[in-house]
Amino acid sequence: MLPIIKKQKKILIVGDFEEVKQTLIQLLEKNNYKIIIAPNGYDGYKYAINERPNLIIADLVMQKTDGLEMLKLIRENTYTSEIPFIFLTEKSATIDRRVGMNSGADDYISIPFKDDDILNSIKIRLDKKDKIDKKFDTVFRSISGNIPHEFRTPLVSIIGFTNIMLDEFHTLDKRELIEMLFNIKSASLRLHRTIEKFIVFSEAEVLNMDKANHEQLLSMDTEVNAFLLYSVINDKMKQLDNPIEVNLNTSYGKILIAEDYFNEMFGELIENAIKFSYKGKLIDISSTEDNDTYTILVKNYGRGMTEEEISNLAPFTQHNRQKYEQQGNGLGLIIVRSLSNFFNVEFKITSVPSEYTQVSLRFRKQKSYG
């Protein structure tokens, strides 16, 4: 078996502090880092674009584009914005440190430095970036592997059955025609659900990015009652063509969220519970409340989730998709989480693998006056 060879991490060092720079280069090369050197911020920015280093160490004060100007350029460029950035400078004043950190630097180390301090800082930033890159790679592979499937599969059914009906209409009996129409309808509904989830996910992301312009939504309320909940539950059962027994034990509540968005969040929880319940198991829906909050809990008895799966929830990511051959695009709980962020709802998942998953949404109550 061939040994696994780790690729050298590239570090760009920018500045004209020659004596310190040589000491730093020797230290980093000794610890298996590949070094790239730039004399000033202007060249450093060009090197960052061309070389795509894993991390940048730069002096704060430099001629021909200083450290702050370089950092601003780095953060504004799509190709370099995520590169970890450490300031290294002889200046030790608190204001300089604050300016550097507020400008988007990841760390600030004063000269003279201890070897362990700078090596630890580099390792922390590189490890953090590796984790982000790994999660991004997982999401990217999920998008490229699963999303085309979610569009292509129902489209193939729709086109395929339609062509058969057109080409062989006079040879098909009524039963065969009805069966094909049902298949076309089922595939169309699946495609419609996929597109709707994309739209809702995008809308939720826009709301969170531009919260100030949607303040009116945060003052709207919804009256939660059995009729509303059963209406959403029945709609989801029809969409999924999967009737399942539900134990509903909730009280009335008036909560701060627009009704359409509440229905979306609750509907996603119901869909998730239906998909991942064991056959023959029911779904428990209950509520709790105090003076200020109203909590809805949706619990299914099925596959469950590990702590790692809960902590790694990400758009377009489905865990063990191949093993369980499930449909979907992994957006359900992400939509709930994103809308929860916007409406200031406490979103929590508790689960035991192979036993149950419970999702709770803790809403703020609408205050009554008079």
Q: Is residue 187 part of a domain?
A: yes
CATH number of residue 69's parent domain? 3.40.50.2300
Tell me: do 200 and 341 sit in the same domain: no
Query: For 224-253, what is the mean pLDDT?
Result: 90
Tell me: do 204 and 287 sit in the same domain: no
Q: Which token pair is 133?
A: 């890159």
Query: For 276-284, what is the mean pLDDT?
Result: 89
Q: Is residue 127 part of a domain?
A: no
Q: Which domain holds residue 188?
A: 144-208
Q: Which token pair is 279?
A: 């056959």
The per-residue pLDDT for 1 is 43
Query: For 70-88, what is the mean pLDDT?
Result: 86
Tell me: do 203 and 216 sit in the same domain: no
Q: Is the pLDDT of residue 190 over 60?
A: yes
Q: Is the pLDDT of residue 366 over 50?
A: yes
pLDDT tens digits along 318-353? 555 444 444 444 688 889 999 999 999 999 999 999
Q: Report how many domains make up the chain.
A: 3
CATH number of residue 176's parent domain? 1.10.287
Please report which residue ranges of the chain form alpha helices under DSSP H: 18-30, 41-51, 67-76, 94-102, 115-168, 174-209, 226-240, 259-276, 307-311, 321-324, 332-342
84 φ, ψ (degrees, to nearest 5): -60, 140
Q: Is residue 122 part of a domain?
A: no
- Does the pTM surpass 0.75? The reply is no
The per-residue pLDDT for 186 is 83
The per-residue pLDDT for 103 is 61
The per-residue pLDDT for 299 is 95
CATH number of residue 224's parent domain? 3.30.565.10
Tell me: do 244 and 357 sit in the same domain: yes
Nearest to 45 by CA among 18, 73, 21, 84: 73
Tell me: do 352 and 254 sit in the same domain: yes
Q: Is the pLDDT of residue 200 over 70?
A: yes
Tell me: do 44 and 66 sit in the same domain: yes
For residue 150, what pLDDT band results from cuts at 50, 70 and 90? low
